[in-house]
Structure formats: structure tokens, C-alpha cells
């Protein structure tokens, strides 16, 4: 069994993929636009702009596989219950990702040292997803 996080957006998936590429090194392995997929896969009428959206994308952050997509048939509601944590090798990597995500985002916990991490912070990105960014207590 494999657990794969799936992140849904409302027309901003491609922009999010670019941001996560800069912040986390997301390596896109595949993406398919709605206009290139079989329209029988969904039962919603789309505008031309929506048909340009991402129907299905896959990529990796480190060894973790992610799936991403634009979803147009349901209201988009970012939540606080789900939270993704990324553990980096160095404080500089944490700071780099944090500063990219805080642009148009919301800092929940600023960068700091804690009992369990030499550098950590929590930010909600401009797409509404919460990210915990940290190192282990002792950096590699």
C-alpha cells in the first residue's frame, strides 16, 4: 500500500507546481490538461480557461510522490486540518522555502529553534495549504 498526498486547486495548480519547484525542488513527472483528457472522465461543463487547467499532475519532493490537480466541480475550501511537514537537511534550506511560501501567504509560526528542531516554521501558502518546514534537531 502507498499513501500519496493529493493537492487540489481552483485554477492555480500550474502556478503552485512552479512555486513548489522553487521552494522544495518538486520534480514534475507528468501533467495532463483537461483539454487533452477524455471529456467523459468528468461530468461538468467547463469554460475554455478551465479546460486549460491541470486535470492530473504527478511529481516528487525528495522520495515522496505527490499528485496535484485543478478541481472545478466543487467549491474550493482550504482547511487547517491537513498539514504537510517537510524535513530539510539544513536551516538554510528551511529558510529558503519558508521565505518563498510566505509571499502572499500567512506565517503561522515564524522561523525559530525548538526542542525538537534546530530550525522550524509553519506557513500557509497563498493557495491555502499549511506547510511545516523543519530540520532535525541536529543538522546533517
- Per-residue pLDDT of 17-44, as tens digits, reads 999 999 999 999 999 999 999 988 887 8
* Residue 84: all three cell numbers together: 504537510
> For residue 11, is it within any domain?
yes
Q: Which helix (H) or strand (E) holds 122?
A: strand 120-124
> For residue 1, is it within any domain?
no
Number of domains the chain contains: 2
Q: Which domain holds residue 117?
A: 84-135
Q: Residue 95: give its domain's CATH number.
A: 3.10.180.10
* Residue 63: all three cell numbers together: 522520495
**For the chain, what is the total number of helices (H) and then of strands (E)?**
3, 8
Q: How far apart (Å, rounded) are the C-alpha atoms in residues 140 and 135?
A: 9
Instruction: Based on the fold, state whether residues 18 and 66 are members of the same structural domain.
Output: yes
Model pLDDT, residue 139: 61
Report pTM: 0.91
| Cβ neighbours for 98, distance < 8 A, ≥ 6 positions apart | 111, 121, 123, 133
- Per-residue pLDDT of 37-81, as tens digits, reads 998 888 788 899 999 999 999 999 999 999 999 998 887 777 777
Which strand ranges, in their side-by-side order, compose the sheet holding 64-70? 6-9, 64-70, 54-61, 27-33
Instruction: Based on the fold, state whether residues 64 and 97 are members of the same structural domain.
Output: no
Instruction: Based on the fold, state whether residues 106 and 58 are members of the same structural domain.
Output: no
- Per-residue pLDDT of 100-115, as tens digits, reads 999 999 999 999 999 8
Residue 140 reports pLDDT greater than 70: no
> For residue 111, is it within any domain?
yes
> For residue 51, is it within any domain?
yes
CB 129, CB 84: distance < 8 Å: yes
Q: How far is CA 109 from the centre of its chain?
A: 18
The average confidence (pLDDT) of the chain is: 92
Amino acid at each position: 500500500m502507498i499513501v500519496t498526498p493529493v493537492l487540489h486547486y481552483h485554477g492555480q495548480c500550474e502556478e503552485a507546481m512552479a512555486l513548489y519547484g522553487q521552494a522544495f525542488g518538486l520534480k514534475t513527472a507528468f501533467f495532463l490538461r483537461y483539454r487533452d483528457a477524455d471529456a467523459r472522465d468528468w461530468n461538468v461543463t467547463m469554460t475554455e480557461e478551465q479546460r486549460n487547467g491541470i486535470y492530473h499532475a504527478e511529481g516528487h519532493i525528495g522520495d515522496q510522490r505527490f499528485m496535484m490537480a485543478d478541481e472545478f466541480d466543487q467549491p474550493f475550501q482550504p482547511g487547517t486540518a491537513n498539514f504537510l511537514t517537510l524535513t530539510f537537511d539544513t536551516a538554510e534550506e528551511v529558510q529558503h522555502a519558508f521565505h518563498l511560501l510566505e509571499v502572499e501567504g500567512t506565517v503561522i509560526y515564524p522561523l525559530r529553534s525548538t526542542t525538537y528542531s534546530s530550525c522550524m516554521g509553519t506557513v500557509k501558502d497563498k493557495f491555502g495549504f499549511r506547510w511545516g518546514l523543519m530540520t532535525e534537531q541536529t543538522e546533517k
